[in-house]
Structure 1
Amino acid sequence: MRAVLNKIRPKEKEEVASDLKDVFDNFSEDDTINKAKEKLEKFIAKWSDKYLKLSNCFNEVIVEYYFTYIKFSCNIRRMIYTTNSIENLNKKIRKATKNKQSFEKSSRLLDFLFVIIKDFELANTDEISSTCFLFLGGLRHNYRHGPLQEQQS
């Protein structure tokens, strides 16, 4: 919520950040989008007297977007609440593919990406789940059994 904190005086940034963190702390099973919106309304009511433009940061469409993670199971909300692990994975993929000029077949590229992602998952098993593999088009392959077999056409 850098956009909000950029509008706040330095003296009050810490307090506003704490209040804002409470608004987005919706990781238990009984948290709903409506409860989150109520927290947001209380936050805006508290700070809108001092910061008139604060409510502009939270129109209805943006609020729905911000609270999308609440629609998912509370077990994975923290994973999709932040993009840190996704950014870290993208960095690993870019680093690994930086010196690769080309692949013989697209399936070789998928194999290579699978190995990178699987290694990342094994290194970060507490932080991410195997759901990150869905972007590979449902590629489900046991890492221990070697590369995928080429499809014969």
Structure 2
Amino acid sequence: AIAAAFPKTEYQRCIVHQVRNTLKYVPDKDRKAFAADLKTIYHASDEEKARLALDRVTEKWTTKYPNSMKRWYDNWDAITPIFKFSPDVRKVIYTTNAIESLNSTYRKLNR
């Protein structure tokens, strides 16, 4: 719908939700190490390094959790726009939680 109304819009997937959706299939015993490995992807300095990190994380964890990284590959086009921005800007836009919170407040007010 956004692309239809605004054809030049670039869509950025929420990194926090991407990580949460990945970690929900990982047991507690591996969650901390897995999350640290995921961080190497979205903290990479550019898209090329992020893709290499994605491949490394997938290679490391695919034997234990074969489908855990599938969504990262499926959503890669919607994840990569974040690498066009500086680290300071990335901290602000890596999550949509602030926007979701604002929308939730609007919905409550409109009821």
- In structure 2, what is the equivalent of residue 86 of structure 1? 99
Runs of 4 or more, structure 1, over 4 Å off, are none
TM-score (norm 1): 0.52
Q: Is the 8 A contact 2:22 2:69 kept in 1?
A: no
Q: Is the radius of gyration larger for structure 1 or structure 2?
A: 1
Unaligned runs of 5+ in 1: 100-153
- In structure 1, what is the equivalent of residue 48 of structure 2? 34
TM-score (norm 2): 0.68
Helix, strand or coil at the partner of 1:19: helix
Identical columns (%): 31
Aligned-residue CA RMSD in angstroms?
Answer: 2.1
More helix by share: 2
Deviation at 1:93, TM superposition (A): 3.1
**Mapped pair 1:8 → 2:37:** no
Distance 1:73 1:39 in 2: 19
User: Which structure exhibits the higher relative contact order, with contacts defined as CA atoms closer than 8 Å and separated by 6 or more residues?
Assistant: 2
- In structure 2, what is the equivalent of residue 22 of structure 1? 40
